[in-house]
Structure 1
């Protein structure tokens, strides 16, 4: 990774430059000329970037000294903005390889830096070719022969074991490892780089003898330079070997990075074929080279260290995931319990403790019998019998708390059952909310029904009251007595019908079931419709118009029976009411041109193997989508009259017979009620 030295007037300018350049380069920061020169003396820098407002003399001196200390580096000057309206003389611009004037965008700065690095590579390449032709490179130094004693090897292994028994603390492990290497080889400088799992660059994680500023700022890209070579070759690289290949650009990059690290040998830390770290050795304090035996031992230890680093990374990742999962479980709105094969409770999260009112310390690692019934039974069935419950509602034996429970088995990596888990939700608040909503619905329904009942009762009472008031005066008038007698009889019958509807709707009445012929009951209902529908509908429809409304007779009611229907067990009086309520509802929605088509037959359906099916079709009865959706819901039905609750009562009666009532709406304005009654064997 290429390195840049940034120097500016203020800390804010340096921070801004760091943000613009990002992590594509190793950035060294200098807040003064002295800091910049110190950095140039101790580490390799490719581009020196200066951003000064007024200190023109200092930047000139800095650029000149940079060229002296590092002849191959390139200078970039970030000039201040021009004065407003170009007033006065333009500010002095020091001589530099590149310059760019503020304000500039991040793309403009990065492009200029890229050009500066390309020039630096060209300068470095030309210099390398000149040196290659004029100077003979020294051969690799001879390594003194020597053998490692058993005592020394034992000490190395003890130090190494100490390094990687540090309780998964990566920083401590790496520092102890460097101490062991230092005791073995006595290098003047020593560093180890580890791969950052987020940014995928190698960073100095532990060092000896390097400048802290260099160690903290140095970054090596995994796909460039030294890391790439070590990944590809998987062996030790010597700086002397690199210097014999400086005519190759890739080796010049490696040489630059080894110079920055003050390394004469770099050893890869490889685990499972991946480069996880780099160990860098500086010159020996004695000036002698490292022996082959020493480097071979160190290479073997480096491989074990790589495995240790990888294990520590895995442990840290697992710890991070554990904390993440624990945080999720802590703030879950549902409770969760898990048991193992030994039927002991392994997980008991905070929300579960709140719902069950049991502290975790009393439950964890205890037998599942510590759980309130029936939670333990459900977990046991899931664990041993594979019975899974999905959104299953239960009530705790203790406290009568309602819960919604789901259970499932847990499997290990071999797909063997290793436990069972239960997730449950406290329904107490939901039940209370539902109960409050039901009470509000009942109250609203009651208000509407009471108002309508008062209106329904008042109509017949008017004629009765009038008759009573005029009775004394006109009792001797036979025409008066005859007329009002008929009116009062009909009104009393209307009151009786209203009371009957309310009784059928509001409470369960006993049934007298007997086997009978459904066809005969339907025929009797049709006769009843023809005799009483006119007066009934007149008193229950506010907008009833005799000329336009449907009037049942033999011309507009057709019945097609199946004479071979078997006997059905039913209450004739109640079932007759259901038929009549459905017919009255259809008639109330039809005009004089409509028709009622009634048929009976026997068929199979999704509910019964054999059933008597009665179909009632209203031709000319066109219901809206809302009316169709709310037809059997008494709390939502628009009750313009008591006939609107007729389908609700009919459904209740038919279901009490064990049957089903459905409705369909055709596009041509045809509404069909289908009644299915089971046939007993």
Structure 2
């Protein structure tokens, strides 16, 4: 049986029309089915417990946000839901988690901090229901809120606040059933949103803690200096990569163990900090690493305190000075080589002067050998000039020689009094007014008594020689207990009211053989500079700013006492307490 082509075309056209006409009917049926099937009631208390359990089961922010919005959308059987978090940078609210029951739903855009919905929630409104706003509110602000929610396709908006501060907000689309949100729904959403806000705040704090921890670990890992931290029970808590490199120890092998595993060079300063509050700032010592190499280090220690101000541990920061010491040695070697020429020329000049006098008398000796007066003068001049050469050579040896420091605990005021006693005759003879401006308290100084006595003897003698006709000599002391570059130090100032020194000569006063005195050798201040340098201190000489004269300032660091003695004291105290 053959069907005409025109009949086939008509049937196809009719089928197409029916399909187009039935498409809205299909959507209507689907919508009615959704409303019917999605009206299944939920158990309020069971749902609340389940939501609470899910929300509190994770501390990671991203999974938490997705869990919150999934619980809400699935419980409410909403078309979609979106959770926004406040951007601390610009104050806007960014969509962070989105859940949709229908594929056609897309996440809403970010919400400005100035939009009507956000403003309404920030003003303390706990819930925005679009249906109620559109039907019952005549306020202009609410109309703008209704318009915004309508454009977003949103039925509900809830704030997520902690202690009155917004951390985010929640937008929920219509129910799949088409039903409105009933009071039971709103009560459940309010409770869940409050719990969600607390959970989000905790997750954000946790993330900040993790970020800070990672940031600190990155800093410690990349620091060039070694860092060691111990807790109040002397267990090692931090041992960074640089500490591993300097000491040769592995962090995994020492972290969590007692500080004693580090050896006495590193353990003792930390123990002293914890037990005696003894802190060190930019102190140098030699460290024996795992290869038994003598390694020069510079270290500082500090106490760690908790929120209540109680000691919770100690920290040490140290650095390897090997390269610096090598550079210093090379620089000193170059400086010594450069000074040899100047020293040789100056020494030749100083020795040549008395030799010329002796030579002159020696040339006249054949002619005046029998002259008694000549013999007397020759003996006098030769003896004097030979003594001068001998004194010059002795001082030169003292300058060149670097004897090891014989350090002991010294009372600086007592040492100054000893020097003043030696010079009391010269002070009284010149009619010098002596002024002592001593600090009320000076801690003991670790230093070489003989060398420091020679230092202050030279400086005070210089001051007296600058005032042959009398004047005022002021000696002052000061204890600087500040965390400066060189830590704690004692300061001594010796001031006179003489004629002063020209700025041109001030630059050379520490050079060997440089002097402005007729009878001086020019080695006194050079020796003073060497003594102060050996004690890791500093010396400077400058003209007085408020009058005539010169002030010599000596700063001597408080070298740490022997750590073994301090530890013996700790052990003794612990034994007595037990």
Give the TM interval when normalised to the shorter protein.
0.5 to 0.7
Superposition deviation, residue 503 in structure 1: 0.7
Deviation readout 1:201-242 (Å, 9 max, x if unpaired): 1122222448999636x2222344112212323422211222
Deviation readout 1:650-679 (Å, 9 max, x if unpaired): 969999xxxxx99885677666999xxxxx
- 1:268–1:279 Cα contact (<8 Å) kept: yes
Q: 1:388 to 1:521 in 2, by over 3 A?
A: closer
Q: Give secondary structure in 2 for the equivalent of 1:388.
A: coil
Q: Give secondary structure in 2 for the equivalent of 1:220.
A: coil
Q: Out of 413, 431, 446, which is 2:325 matched to?
A: 431
* Residue 317 (1) aligns with residue 208 (2): yes
Distance in 2 of aligned mates of 1:426 and 1:242:
71
Distance in 2 of aligned mates of 1:428 and 1:327:
25
* Residue 645 (1) aligns with residue 522 (2): yes
Corresponding residue of 1:162: 54
Q: Give secondary structure in 1 for the equivalent of 2:264.
A: coil
* Residue 386 (1) aligns with residue 249 (2): no
Corresponding residue of 2:123: 232
Please report the RMSD computed on the Cα atoms of aligned residues, expressed in angstroms. Answer: 4.9
Superposition deviation, residue 617 in structure 1: 7.8
- 1:403–1:426 Cα contact (<8 Å) kept: yes
Superposition deviation, residue 149 in structure 1: 5.3
Alignment of 1:497-512 (within 5 A): 497-507=388-398
Q: Out of 217, 226, 230, which is 1:326 matched to?
A: 217
Superposition deviation, residue 504 in structure 1: 2.4
Unaligned segments of structure 2, at least 5 residues: 1-38, 404-417, 434-449, 479-493, 533-538, 554-578
Corresponding residue of 1:265: 156
* Residue 339 (1) aligns with residue 230 (2): yes
Superposition deviation, residue 439 in structure 1: 3.4
Q: 1:651 to 1:343 in 2, by over 3 A?
A: closer
Q: Give secondary structure in 2 for the equivalent of 1:302.
A: helix
Q: Give secondary structure in 2 for the equivalent of 1:343.
A: coil
Distance in 1 of aligned mates of 2:464 and 2:324:
39
Alignment of 1:186-197 (within 5 A): 186-197=77-88
Distance in 1 of aligned mates of 2:550 and 2:67:
87
Superposition deviation, residue 483 in structure 1: 6.8
Superposition deviation, residue 200 in structure 1: 1.5
- 1:393–1:402 Cα contact (<8 Å) kept: yes
TM-score by length of 1: 0.55
Q: 1:272 to 1:643 in 2, by over 3 A?
A: same
TM-score by length of 2: 0.64
Distance in 2 of aligned mates of 1:470 and 1:598:
43
Corresponding residue of 2:97: 206
Distance in 2 of aligned mates of 1:211 and 1:325:
44
* Residue 445 (1) aligns with residue 322 (2): no
- 2:61–2:204 Cα contact (<8 Å) kept: no
Distance in 2 of aligned mates of 1:252 and 1:178:
27
Q: 1:452 to 1:301 in 2, by over 3 A?
A: same
Q: Give secondary structure in 2 for the equivalent of 1:269.
A: strand
Q: 1:469 to 1:212 in 2, by over 3 A?
A: farther
Q: Out of 294, 304, 307, which is 1:410 matched to?
A: 304
Superposition deviation, residue 338 in structure 1: 1.2
Distance in 2 of aligned mates of 1:270 and 1:261:
22
Q: 1:203 to 1:449 in 2, by over 3 A?
A: same
From the CA coordinates, give the structure whose radius of gyration is larger.
1
* Residue 250 (1) aligns with residue 141 (2): yes
Distance in 2 of aligned mates of 1:444 and 1:618:
36
Distance in 2 of aligned mates of 1:201 and 1:343:
48
Corresponding residue of 2:245: 354
- 2:51–2:192 Cα contact (<8 Å) kept: no
Give the count of matched residue pairs. Answer: 453
- 1:333–1:351 Cα contact (<8 Å) kept: yes
* Residue 281 (1) aligns with residue 153 (2): no
Q: Give secondary structure in 2 for the equivalent of 1:439.
A: helix
Q: 1:596 to 1:191 in 2, by over 3 A?
A: closer
Superposition deviation, residue 262 in structure 1: 0.8
Q: Give secondary structure in 1 for the equivalent of 2:268.
A: helix
Relative CO higher for 1 or 2, CA cutoff 8 Å, sep ≥ 6? Answer: 2
Q: 1:640 to 1:282 in 2, by over 3 A?
A: same
* Residue 175 (1) aligns with residue 52 (2): no
- 2:59–2:202 Cα contact (<8 Å) kept: no
Corresponding residue of 1:624: 502
Distance in 2 of aligned mates of 1:331 and 1:417:
27
Superposition deviation, residue 421 in structure 1: 1.8
